[in-house]
Structure 1
Amino acid sequence: MLKQNRNVKLDEDICVHIFTASAAMVGVCITVIGIFQVITTLRKEGTLGDDLLAVNAILYLASTILSYWALRTRNVRRNHKLEKTADILFLVALTFTTVVAGVITWAMTFT
């Protein structure tokens, strides 16, 4: 019983980390979109980077909402499903962040 209780506590801890990191990454994406808009306005040319960052922010927001829902639910089975989904979505968004960084870098280099 103690081991099972410890696993539930550990899962809740992971969910808290996903929640805080995803929420922070939404802010980072929005900040970079703003900076990117200034740069593209000054250069008088647009790129796909700000659109990709907006999609990235939505992925992080979905991860944040799922992890918050997992923290608030009382149903253990639902909690584990939400945590797993939030975890996978967070990793997808994190990978997408790296891809977007590469796209922005190459777009700025070749123009």
Structure 2
Amino acid sequence: MTEDRSQESDRRKDRDIAAHIFTTSSVMVGLCLTIISVVRSLPRPGQLETAVDDLIAIAALVFLLACFLSYAVLRSRHLRRMHRVESLADGVFLLGLTLLAVACGLFVWTIL
């Protein structure tokens, strides 16, 4: 009985984390698209701006993948599969954040 409650509590926590990844990664896709449009509207587009917006576009696709994976967690009924996919969604989300941070760093340090 206590083990069932513990598993249900873990499942609820996992779904909460997946819901946060789902909503945040979908917002990050929109943010990446906004950043790309700002970079493209700069008066002097150069080689770096193209590299930065390409990197941000890749980050947007990575965030989209994290969104799909977290949705799969929310729809999953199998606890073991849910844990594996949630770990993958976490890693993919962190990869997207890293790509976005690298792109922003490239953009800022070359403008100065």
In 2, Cα distance between equivalents of 1:25 and 1:33 = 12
Counterpart of 2:89, as a letter, is: A
Change in Cα spacing, 1:12 to 1:44, as seen in structure 2 (3 Å) is: closer
Report how far residue 108 of structure 1 moved: 1.8
Instruction: Determine helix, strand or coil for the equivalent of 1:43.
Output: coil
Q: Which stretch has the larger CA shift, 96-105 or 25-34?
A: 96-105
In 2, Cα distance between equivalents of 1:44 and 1:86 = 34
1:23 to 14, 26, 51: 26
Alignment of 1:3-82 (within 5 A): 3-39=6-42, 42-47=43-48, 48-82=51-85
In 2, Cα distance between equivalents of 1:3 and 1:77 = 15
Report how far residue 69 of structure 1 moved: 1.2
Please tell me whether the aligned partners of residues 32 and 60 of structure 2 are also in contact (alpha carbons under 8 angstroms): yes
- Percent sequence identity is 38
Root-mean-square deviation (CA, aligned residues, Å) is 1.2
Match of 1:90 in 2: 93
Q: Deviations over 1:27-71 (max 9, x none)?
A: 0000000011001xx214242111111011011111001101111
Q: Deviations over 1:6-37 (max 9, x none)?
A: 11100100000000000000000000000110
Gapped regions of structure 2 (runs ≥ 5):
none
Instruction: Determine helix, strand or coil for the equivalent of 2:41.
Output: helix
Q: TM-score, normalised by structure 1?
A: 0.90
